[in-house]
Amino acid sequence: MPHIAVSLYPGRDRDTKLEIANKLKDLMVRELNFPPDSISVSVVEIEPDSFVDTIQQKYDGKDLYISSRAVKTST
């Protein structure tokens, strides 16, 4: 706990995904004082033609805190 889940279009190499995962982990350590070994991060690639449907099925709008052009929050 906590777990950070990142979903994005395909195209980034493993090193780039690892760099982003580490930066997100570092942010949680710095801003919320979580121990580094308590944080997990996943990076999942989703094809563009199914991205919006996949995200909307996975997350209720109330669980999204920042909207994008395609995926909207419920508030």
Q: What is the pLDDT along the chain (75 residues), one digit of tens a residue?
A: 899 999 999 999 999 999 999 999 999 999 999 999 999 999 999 999 999 888 888 887 777 777 787 777 775
CA nearest 59: which of 69, 49, 74? Answer: 74
Domain spanning 3-63: CATH 1.10.3720.10: no
Which whole-number Å values give the CA distances from 68 to 40, 51, 61, 62, in the listed order?
A: 24, 12, 12, 14
Amino acid 63: pLDDT:
79
Q: Count the alpha carbons within 13 Å of 13 in the hemisphere toward its beta carbon.
A: 1
Amino acid 55: pLDDT:
87
Amino acid 75: pLDDT:
59
Query: Whole-prediction pTM value?
Result: 0.82
